[in-house]
Structure 1
């Protein structure tokens, strides 16, 4: 059998000779190829969905799995953020405790007159030792937070203990501050003691209720203890007088001043200048008349003066 192909554009013809034996050989293969092509087309059409070439059941299952995984990932991230926030809060609380402890420790060091170089709360304590391998399983976040909770409780207990100790030390310091001790002047000498003496104006034996300290005119006069000024004015015999109430029944008086540096109601500290030495009132020369009153009665200040000298 011959097949003739004619090309009008090129003006040519082709002749194809078909051998019946070859046609019979290739015919089954051609039929099989056409059948496979048709089957593939049919399968593709049967698998076609509204969203693509995958079955709706497969697409739905995949979407559900993806949604579940996204939800699990979001939950895991939220849990991690929550744990991180909890850990940050614990650390912030511990830092606040440590700051308060450092402040309390610094105050205790100052109150107790401890060398700052011995207890420097601005620096970590010196520690050391040989390096060893860590043992045990790695710590998980729950263990870390539990340890932080226990440490926070411990720091809270230590802080309360240090507060109590600070109060005790402050009370002891205040007791020392308000109890009269030392001289009312830095320089000078005693010209008249407490008790019986000959009056410099009458020559008769009289009782002197204080101690006289002589020095140059204008020498600073200082409080021998902390307290509140109850009087700062001219008084008969005393001249310009300062009186201070120290609590616990103690009061001190400083007479014959040339100038007063405080007024009633002022709070003064131990060693603070309260007046300038003079010779006002019943006086023969520049000096300060120093009296100590305990529970309403004058007492000999000598034992309190000797406490600081």
Structure 2
């Protein structure tokens, strides 16, 4: 029989008076080494889990902070929109008093903001005719059907240049079919109206309306911007009836903003 290999470990005190010998077999040595490796591996694994858990916890805290900031920003935007709505209402009343020589019964502009309750004012002769989608004059920079030299397709809507943050209004009462962000339209809102009419408002900086919302005629649904495929701040208005695109200028009732004389918006060369 082959003799088992053994190792002897001797421990000697510094003064040399005491000697202790420990006999270690090859099997015990291997078991100890494997055990040590397993323990070290386990400690490393637990350390990795702890680090991952700590990273995930930090990420959750960061997301919660960002969410709180977004909620705070939304609240500030709603507050600002409400204040601007009050200013426009007061301006409409003042304008009516100046032009007619008596207090106006209703302002020229009917602005509705989501979450502000009932409409503050409504023109007495309001009809279902699609209205101008902005509360200011703006400049038409590109017409429906226009086609750049490098494109084979005509323009699908009407581009109206206005400063970033201008009010975008629903041209007619309806229900929001879709509100979100698109690579081309940027932040957009699409509304379904009566008689198969749909309207799309693109390149916005901020959306007030969400999918499924019921909106009133002239309700503020967004703030203009420069998102999506856009080279400057403007509103892209796109109309379709039963899926067929149509010229917005053939339907919108008023091409002027509040405080204007009612003249059509100026049109720039394309």
**TM-score between both structures, scaled by the size of structure 2:** 0.46
Structure with more relative contact order (C-alpha pairs < 8 Å, separation 6 or more) = 2
Structure whose CA Rg is larger:
1
